[in-house]
Chains A and B, each alone.
Chain A
Amino acid sequence: MTDTIIVGAGFAGVGMGICLRRQGERSFVILERGGDVGGTWRDNIYPGVACDIPSHLYSYSFRPNANWSKFYADGSEILGYLRQAVQEEGLLPHLRLHEEATSMRWDGESRRWTVRTPQGVYVSRVLIVAAGRLSEPRYLDVPGLRSFAGPVFHSSRWRPDIDLAGQRVGIVGTGASAVQLLPKVAEQGADVVLFQRSPAYIVPRANRTYSQSERRKLSLIPGALARLRARLFWKAEMGFAERIGVPTFVDALQERALGHLEAQVSDPNLRAQLTPDYAIGCKRILLSDDFYPALCGENVRLEPSAVSRAEGNRIHSASGTGYDLDMLILATGFKSTRPPFASRIVGAGGVVLSERWEHGMVAYASTMVAGFPNLFIMDGPNASLGHNSAIHMIETQIEFILGALNYLQSSESDVLDVSRAAEDSYTADIDKRSASTVWLTGGCSSWYVDAGSRRLTLLWPDLASSFRHEVGTFDPESYMAQPTGPVEPWVLDAAAGLASEVRAR
């Protein structure tokens, strides 16, 4: 039996593991369904994959890296950073690869979580789910697609074995993945069609490499990395003003985006098709310098409507146009607001988390759900951002969880559950803050908003710095810590026995 099980070895799970280990904690495992660490950055290997947040901000503050090669790093460099972190921080002994948590169940009697994987059973006091928000591909569901004559694959399930050269390629979607991969696909494909339901606002990326002297300066001058990170952070924070509709900032950003479109696309018809009809910031704002020029290429066509059906190797659009294609790449995003892991988690009284979240994700402090004791969810409800670094949010959650674990350690109780009233109050506050944000008022449909309840369930509707100050410190008074006596030894033995028995099989 271990003290803590972490599910997922992406940025959140690895960061959590590093901080536990640095505290001297050794009784934990990280269960990872894939064959490597890295989460999003392991899964997304499509050509052109890169980050939209500056490298020095999109990395752990406790593992600064003076050697980022570019202002915005490529996916492979980020994956390398995470692999190195796992090795250097001594996480390998804690890592269990190819172990997918198929069932996570709270047992009130033993006060333990039992996590089953196809390989075995793990039992722990604390369960930290860090399964990511960009983990489960959302697929296109249109008639005839299964019988499409060529390969059909999601951008996060890239097929390096497939040669794009001379092929007729369809790309579905205009989100961050599509915008990054289209220019690369267009370099090879004979004929590329981009199916666009609604266009994105795109601003210049203006990426640049860090010179050798810049990198040396960052590594040699004490405090230089932290100063740079702080500057980038506070600069990014200003983007929140655009999300709550402060006119001066919204206008400047919109001007920047539409000016970029005008500068790069001279054809007025194409430009009109690429002009969004919703408020800027409602959907994720994208960064690219090569997307528009690629779209203007002779071998690339924009279909300004969704895919409606497939027939043989012909893809039909909602506008009635048919395209003969050799393959279809689905850059259609992820199941973010309804994470599949929720159907695998069973809390007190046999309540399934996905049922508890029937009307959309909720959690106290964006981390704990009432009735799911000792469960911490990272990157879950209202823990993402539309304007700043996800890693800052992850580190806030790590701080919170460490506080909770330290409290459990020092107090009489070994069960920590948040009250429903506290959770409801937190949720009401989130709803109040969300109401005036562009995500709910901007007139778009986005993956930030729960499709059923129309609540903003993915994003934290405020500044990242507010999240840190309001959520980052664990306050036991807000929780229903349950001081309980020791568990009878036979109950623990039984739980541990089950784990070792199944593992030995």
Chain B
Amino acid sequence: MSPASGSVEESPLAVTVPRPVMNDGAGEPLVLLIAGDGKHMDGYAFLLPLLERKHRVVTVSLLEGWTGIGVQLPSIDELVGRARAAILDLGPGRSIALIGFSLAGVVAAAYTASYAGVGRLIVISASLTSSPRHRAFARTWARARALGSDGMRDFVTYSMLSPAFHEDSRPSDNAAIDALMIDPTADAAAAIFAAADISNLAPQIDVPTLVIGCAGDQVASVEQSQALFAAIPSARYSEIDCGHAALLERPVEVLSLLERFLRNPHRHAPASVIPRDEP
């Protein structure tokens, strides 16, 4: 992968406004930011239908239409702009709950710092700043892509999932692992994520926020998720015992945290660490 190389053309993202997809649930819409395109939705295969049982959910694919060939990587600002266009499409003056995982989490946080209208923010497996480790991850991702699908699958398995996940995974999990890396948007997401820095924006977020970190996160790193929590004055923090791909490893634990936070965002005070469930 090297979407940043080659001749620089106008980003197709500037002309394509992502189309929000909404179900018919009631209440304040949840806006789920998706880092990849439609195919990448497989990463949300569990979370989305369960959220839709009880909420009105809008999905916005930030990198829809990204081809990865000969175009410059979009910046965080551009992705925030795409999110803005999609959210404006929902109608003016709406309060929304914004949810994002990994890169989309970073974008969700940057969006919330930049625009009014977000009632609640939920950020999963995201980071505050770029680090040498993040950049090494992105470079290794690109090298693994060059090795073909087997090499890529091995790298994703190694980097995005916790060791414990493999102890009781099933063959059907392979399809879900493939969904983490299936198309060029995943390559773009990895590269943009590795370079992202929202340390200037995070302190400006003043809406009730839930930051979910993953104890075994080898991509964002749990330290970065904790740093993000610490940088957002209105944030609460909860930690899950899994790798970066929380939506694949522990989707119900994520869902459980989301649902409780959405039902009552003030149950825990800002700057609280929410205790882990002990089943």
Contact = CB atoms under 8 A, between A and B. Distances in A.
B241 A246 contact: no
Contacts of A468: 277, 279
Given A230-B277, A233-B279, A234-B250, A465 B46 contact: no
Given A61-B278, A249-B45, A227 B241 contact: yes
Given A231-B164, A233-B279, A463-B252, A244 B53 contact: yes
A235 B251 CA distance: 9
Contacts of A246: 45-46, 49-50
B168 A235 contact: yes
B256 interface: yes
Contact of A256 (B53, B172, B241, B255): B172
Contacts of B241: 227, 230-231
Contacts of B197: none
A466 B256 contact: yes
Interface string A457-468: 000000111101
A289 interface: no
B45 A248 contact: yes
B49 A244 contact: yes
A466 B53 CA distance: 13
B259 interface: yes
Contacts of B45: 246, 248-249
B49 A234 contact: no
B46 A241 contact: yes
Interface in B238-279: 241, 250-253, 255-256, 259-260, 276-279
A230 B278 contact: yes
A118 B104 CA distance: 66
Contacts of A248: 42, 45
Interface residues on B, range: 20 to 34
Contact of A234 (B53, B253, B260): B253
Interface string A419-450: 00000000000000000100000000000000
A252 B171 CA distance: 10
B253 to A, nearest CB: 5
A465 B277 contact: yes
**Most chain A beta carbons < 10 A, residue from B42, B256, B278, B279:** B279
Given A61-B278, A463-B252, A465-B256, A241 B49 contact: yes
Nearest to A256: B172
A125 interface: no
Interface string B220-247: 0000000000000000000001000000
B232 to A, nearest CB: 24
Contact of B53 (A226, A230, A436): A436
Contacts, number: 64
Contacts of A232: 168
B256 A469 contact: yes
Nearest to B48: A246
Nearest to A229: B279
Nearest to B277: A465
Contacts of B49: 241, 244, 246
Contacts of B250: 234
Contacts of A57: 279
Interface string B41-71: 0100110011001000000000000000000
A240 interface: yes
B261 to A, nearest CB: 11
B252 A226 contact: no
A181 to B, nearest CB: 27
Contacts of B276: 230
B168 A234 contact: no
A21 B172 CA distance: 45
Contacts of A231: 164, 167-168, 241
Interface in A157-183: none
A252 B169 CA distance: 14
Interface in B111-147: none
**Most chain B beta carbons < 10 A, residue from A230, A244, A252, A464:** A230
A22 to B, nearest CB: 16
Nearest to B254: A234
Contacts of B46: 238, 241, 246, 249
A237 interface: yes
A252 B49 CA distance: 16
A392 interface: yes
A65 to B, nearest CB: 16
Interface in A465-498: 465-466, 468-469
B279 A465 contact: yes
B181 to A, nearest CB: 18
A214 B212 CA distance: 30
B279 A230 contact: yes
Contacts of B278: 61, 226, 230
Nearest to B252: A237
B172 A238 contact: no
Given A234-B253, A238-B251, A463-B252, 18 more contacts: A61-B278, A226-B278, A230-B278, A231-B167, A231-B241, A232-B168, A233-B279, A237-B252, A240-B50, A241-B49, A241-B50, A244-B50, A246-B50, A256-B172, A436-B53, A465-B252, A465-B277, A466-B256
Q: Which 10 residue pairs of A and B lie closest in terms of their CB atoms, listed nearest first?
A: A233-B279, A237-B252, A246-B49, A465-B256, A252-B172, A248-B45, A234-B253, A234-B250, A234-B252, A241-B46
Interface of B: 42, 45-46, 49-50, 53, 164, 167-168, 172, 241, 250-253, 255-256, 259-260, 276-279
5 contacts: A240-B50, A436-B53, A464-B279, A465-B252, A468-B277
